[in-house]
Amino acid sequence: MQQKEKVAIIGLGYVGLSLALAFAKKRAVIGFDINADKIQLLQNKIDPNQEFDADAFNDIDIQFTDQLKDIAGADYYIVAVPTPVNGERIPNLTALLNACKSVGTVITPGNIVIFESTVYPGCTEEDCIPLIEQVSGLKAGTDFFYGYSPERINPGDAQHTLEQVIKVVAGCNEYATSKVAALYGEVVQAGIHIAPNIQTAEAAKIIENTQRDLNIGLMNELSMIFDKMQLDTKAVLAAAATKWNFMPFSPGLVGGHCIGVDPYYLTYKAARLGYNSQIITAARMINDGMGKYVADKIIQHLIVAVDVVKSAKVLVMGATFKENVSDIRNAKIADVVFALQQLNIQVHVTDPRASHNALMQEYGFGLTTSVEKDYDVVIVAVPHKEYLLLTDDYFSSITQPHALIVDIKGIYSNKIYSRKYWSL
C-alpha cells in the first residue's frame, strides 16, 4: 500500500494537540512546539492542558519535537498557534508570523499549508502567505498550496470534540480545497462544510465567538439592571426561557482566548476599512468591565460589614478562564483580584486545576496553601465540578457570620441561607 502523506502540526495547545492525536491514528504525524517543557511532557504521554489521558497517546504514529528541522519532509503543515491581542486590544500576530517563517524554511514544492489559528478576514492571504513565499522562494498556488480551516475546539467539553463537530474548510483553489477537505474528512465524523473562499471561512470563525460575546454582553447588562430592581436574574431568565425561541445565555466573566479575544480581530479589520463597530464594541466594553463591577459590589458589602475594609479577607475559588480546564489565559477573575488588592484587601486564591507557578508568572498572585475559617467574602468564580456539591454548611464553616458569598455563575442559587448571597 502507498504510504500516506505526512502531517506536521505547528503549535500543540488545545487545538494542535487534538489535531495531532486524531491524525496520528490515520497517518504519520510530527507535532512541533517551541516550548521544550511541553514537548517533554507530551513525550511522556502527559497533556499539559489535562484534556487527554495517557491512553490517548497509545497506538498512534506521532513524533513530538521542539526542533524545527524535524518537521522538514512533511506533506501538510497545519498551523495552530495562538492569536491573542495586546494590551491595547490590537491583534498580536507574532506567534502566527513566526510560524509562517518556520514553515517557509522547510516547505517544498507540492506541500499544502493549512491555517487553523483565528484571524481577521484576509489575514491568511495578506499576511501569512506572502511571508511564506518570501522565506521559501516558492510561489503560492503554483509551487505550494494553502487552505484555512477554523478551529472549533471547546476546552473541557467531552461532547463537542474535533471528531463530532462539522469542519469548515476552504482552499486557495479547487485542488487545494479538495485536498484539505479529504484530509480532515479522515478524522471528522460530523462532516465537512466547504466555504467558497478563505476569507469566508476566516469570517465564519470570527462571528461564531462574536455572536456569543454579544449575547453574553446583553445578559451582563440585564444582570446589572435587574440587580438595581432587586430581581433574581436567574429566575427572570428561567421564566423567559419557557418561550420556544428564547436563547439560553447567562451572565458571567468573559475571558479565555476565544470569546474575549476574537471580536477584537473583527473590529480591528473593520476599522482598517473605515468602519467603527458599534454593537460589537459595546458588548466588549460591558464584558471587559464585569470584573470591576463584581469588585465594586464586594467593596460595597465590606464597607458595611467590616470596621476597616483593608483588614478584610477574601477567598477566590477558581482562577481558570472557565470551568473544568487548567487554562488561565485571560482569566477575568484576575481583574477582581487586582481591584481588591489595590485596597490592600487580603485575597486568597484556590483552584483544583490551575498551576500556582503559571498564575504567578501571568498575574503575580498564586494559590493559597490552605483555606482558612474567617473569610469576609467568598467568590466562587468558576464552577469546576469539584465545587458543585459544596453546601451551605461548608461556606458557613469558612466564613464570618457577616460574610457574603459571591456566586458568579449562580450554581448555588437557593442553596445558601446562612450567609448573604449574591450572583450575577
Residues forming beta bridges with residue 10, ordered by sequence position: 32, 79
Q: How many helices (H) and strands (E) does the chain have?
A: 14, 13
DSSP string, 304-363: HH-S-GGG-EEEEE--SSSTT----TT-THHHHHHHHHTTT-EEEEE-SSS-HHHHHHHH
Q: Between β-strands 346-350 and 7-10, what pairing exists: parallel, antiparallel or unpaired?
A: unpaired
Active-site annotation holder among 100, 128, 172, 258: 258
The residue assigned the cell 475559588 is 317
Q: Between β-strands 167-171 and 145-148, what pairing exists: parallel, antiparallel or unpaired?
A: antiparallel
Residue 268: closest CA among 127, 91, 400 = 91
Q: Does the active-site annotation cover 258? A: yes
Label residues 100-118 b or e (16+ Cβ within 10 Å = b).
bebbbebbeeebbbbbbbb
Q: 389 in helix, strand or coil?
A: coil
Amino acid (one-letter) located at 182:
A
Please name the helix (run of DSSP H) or strand (run of DSSP E) that holds residue 169, with its range, or none: strand 167-171
The residue assigned the cell 516547505 is 107
Q: Which residues have a catalytic role annotated? A: 258
